[in-house]
Amino acid sequence: MPVTDEQLDFAVVAQLAGLALTDRALERVRARGHTALRVSHGYVFQHLLDGPITIGELAQHLGVTQQAASKVTTELDATGYVRRTSDAADGRVRRVELTERGRAAVRDTREVRAELVAELTDALGADQVESARRTLLAALDIAGGTAAVRLRRVRPPT
């Protein structure tokens, strides 16, 4: 039996809209040549935007083990999105940073997201899109998620 609009509560609609827009964005980012990227890589990239960090710091930010952080950075290193290097002060410590290809992926993703917002604006009007954005920001705040977003501490879903 199909689900009606009335059966979908606010949180479900917000989540499903976000997932659908993310899927569309990922399709477009992949069409720009970033075929190896997954949504989960964005959680890594957000912590590398300000410069190199240690694998241990990345693991802590993501809420995963150092082994898991090392695995994903090895994968991203192999595809050219990050570079892993030894720390100058302690060769046992590994640092990870975005490469130019990684920064290009961030730029492309931001451009694609802006294109999607422009499409929504064309379809719904600027006022409605801005009202929806403000409503979702208020919901995020009420749910206690604002600080994590502002500090780039959003963790991948478990």
Q: What's residue 74's pLDDT?
A: 96
DSSP track, 9-75: -HHHHHHHHHHHHHHHHHHHHHHTT-TT--HHHHHHHHHHTTS-EEHHHHHHHHTS-HHHHHHHHHH
Q: What's residue 153's pLDDT?
A: 83
* Domain membership flag for residue 81: yes
* Domain membership flag for residue 155: no
Residues 24 and 43 in one domain: no
Residue 83 domain boundaries: 38-98
- What average pLDDT does range 31-60 have in this prediction? 95
Residues 104 and 142 in one domain: yes
* Domain membership flag for residue 118: yes
Considering the chain, what percentage of its residues have pLDDT values greater than 90? 82
* Domain membership flag for residue 108: yes
Question: Which of the four pLDDT bands, split at 50, 70 and 90, describes residue 65?
Answer: very high
User: What is the side-by-side order of every strand in the sheet holding 82-86?
Assistant: 53-54, 94-98, 82-86
Residues 43 and 85 in one domain: yes
Q: How many domains does the chain have?
A: 2
pLDDT reading at 45 higher than 80: yes
Domain end call among 74, 98, 122: 98
pLDDT reading at 156 higher than 80: no
Residues 32 and 104 in one domain: yes
pTM: 0.89
- What average pLDDT does range 132-150 have in this prediction? 94
* Domain membership flag for residue 158: no
* Domain membership flag for residue 29: yes
- What average pLDDT does range 76-86 have in this prediction? 96
